[in-house]
Amino acid sequence: MSQHHVALIIPYRDRLKHLRDFVAYMHPFLQLQKLDYRIFIIEQTNRRPFNRAKLFNVGFKEAEKISDFHCYIFHDVDLIPTNVNNIYGCTQFPRHMSANIDIFEYKLPYADILGGAVAILKEQFVEVNGFSNSFFGWGGEDDDFFNRVTKNGSKICRFGPSVSKYIMLSHKKEKPSTDGLNSLKYTVVQLEMLPLYTRVLVDI
């Protein structure tokens, strides 16, 4: 029996070409590594801004129902690992797998990065309460996950640069989303101009 029982969780919407290339490449790759694995494609159906992190949480919950995976890999659909020694299993510490991507000239963009592809033991993922559900649109959720995983002094790890190599399938760059005035939703329940102050009662 394989020592790795792994769920690959892929957040997805509207990238059919990438999905085709990804599964065609990954099955032979993962089979060479003799893993016991399953690939989950978690697809967002609505037209709200894409929520990568929430899809990861959904993937975890649904995978857990299907089998007792001990290792979870949260993985973009457009990342292709090029070194077969990049084992799709979990290590003692949560592992940032995609440290050296072609579009970043195979360099780590910044030290605290924990996006792209991450391998984490089930109990560690549960311990940090998974990802935040509240990041709609591009960006932020991966840095939030870094903070969750490393708070209380916990470590992450990376394999060396020759092993952690990926190519990213080409796509146009999404605009970073910033949460704020442009995404504010609220209902004023009551507005009263009182003598000493104006009272705004609000459902947020």
Binding residues for ligand UDP, rule: CB under 6 A, are 10-15, 50, 52, 76-78, 171, 173-174
Nearest approach in angstroms of CB 190 to ligand UDP is 40
By beta-carbon proximity to ligand UDP, the closer residue of 29 and 36 is 29
State residue 189 phi and psi, 5-degree precision: -85, -35
Q: Which is nearer to Mn ion, 4 or 76 (CB)?
A: 76
Choose between 109 and 160: whose C-beta lies nearer to ligand UDP: 109
Please list the alpha-helical segments (H only) found in the chain. Answer: 16-32, 52-66, 122-127, 141-150
Angle in degrees, 0-180, between the axes of helices 52-66 and 141-150, rounded to the nearest 10: 60
**Which residues, 6+ apart, have CB-to-CB distance to 83 below 8 Å?**
162, 163, 164, 165
Shortest Å distance, C-beta 75 to ligand UDP: 8
* Closest by CA position to 69, among listed 31, 96, 36: 36
Nearest residue to ligand UDP, by Cβ distance, number only: 76
Min. distance of Cβ 111 from ligand UDP in angstroms?
A: 17
Q: How far is the CB of 62 from ligand UDP (least distance, A)?
A: 16
Please give the backbone phi and psi of residue 122, each rounded to the nearest 5 degrees, phi first: -50, -50
Q: List binders of Mn ion among 73-112 (CB under 5 A).
A: 78
Query: Does residue 141 touch Mn ion according to CB under 5 A?
Result: no
CB nearer to ligand UDP: pick between 127 and 133:
133
Q: Which is nearer to Mn ion, 171 or 199 (CB)?
A: 171
CB of 21 to ligand UDP, least distance (A): 12
Q: What's the DSSP call for residue 174?
A: P
Return the H-helix or E-strand segment holding 40.
strand 36-43
Contact 127, 44 (CB under 8 A): no
Which residues, 33 to 72, sit near Mn ion by CB under 5 A? none
Binding residues for Mn ion, rule: CB under 5 A, are: 78
